[in-house]
Structure 1
Amino acid sequence: MLGCLAGLERSWAVLITQLMLPRTPFCALWLSWDSLLGIREPRAYLTTTAKRLIVDRIRRQALEEVHLTELAIFAEAGEGYPSPEQIVATLQALEQIAVALEGVSVKAREAFLLHFLEGQSHAEIATHLGVSTRMVGKYLVQSLSCCLQGVTP
């Protein structure tokens, strides 16, 4: 790129370089090369340049820390949601359960769903279905045995 700029006037070269090259310490030194030749206090110039580099580095680290903090917050917020793979696996498992439960009665299927999906107790299911708690237990055993048969080949 420097060879391409050799034929242009110095002001155009500076303008193009400022637009095309990122701001780095090397670019800053290259752009101020003419002023470097007339420095009376090189130690003071180097000290000022070093201080500015340190300030730039601290600013960049502060921005990185803020960015990493935001990413961590975003990652924590996303933990409560299942991944697409988990959703597909869950849907496949539910399909297998639905196919397995086709072999039981309507009351046994409803008892299974009330107990395992809604978390109701045997007594609540018995009241809902109008049967005894012992019958609810039998319904659950029937449903689970059908699910087990559906899973094993």
Structure 2
Amino acid sequence: MSDFWDTVNRVITGAAAYITDEHGRVLLVDPNYRDHWTFPGGMIDAGEHPAQACAREIAEELGLEVEVEVGALLTVAWTDGLPNIPYSLVTFTFDCGEIASDTPITLQAEELDDYGFFTVEEAEQRLASHSYQRLLATAAARDSGRLTYLPPAQNRLISQEG
């Protein structure tokens, strides 16, 4: 039996929130442990399902518990080739609705340096290439009401600078 389990794929799983403001700009955070901005969210803990992890991360990272509801799953992205991560990453991105741009946000100081609301064009300058592709797919999924899957070929980390 152990031979079988040695052959199965292993992945790391994460959950992220797609939150926009009244102007349609996406909320992004600036982690102090990465070179790029990203969606609010993080790794899924043992025993959590993705939506639970998303809600937990929103509360921990942004201090938003009442203002945001975890809604529909918008994208599932499979990312290969991340630096210093030996496995693929599967990220579940949920529609967490709209909040006013002046909503009080309390950043988790241990992990985040800043946050902001950005247009798609502004976000492209801040996000890693694979995260930007996820942003485009996630925005389109919210508009269409259809779940989108981003396979590795469409969601590969192109470069550290990308």
Please report the TM-score for the alignment, with normalisation by the length of structure 2: 0.19
Query: Relative contact order, CA 8 A, sep 6+: which one is greater?
Result: 2
Please report the TM-score for the alignment, with normalisation by the length of structure 1: 0.20
The structure that has the greater radius of gyration is: 1
The structure whose residues are more often helix, as a share, is 1
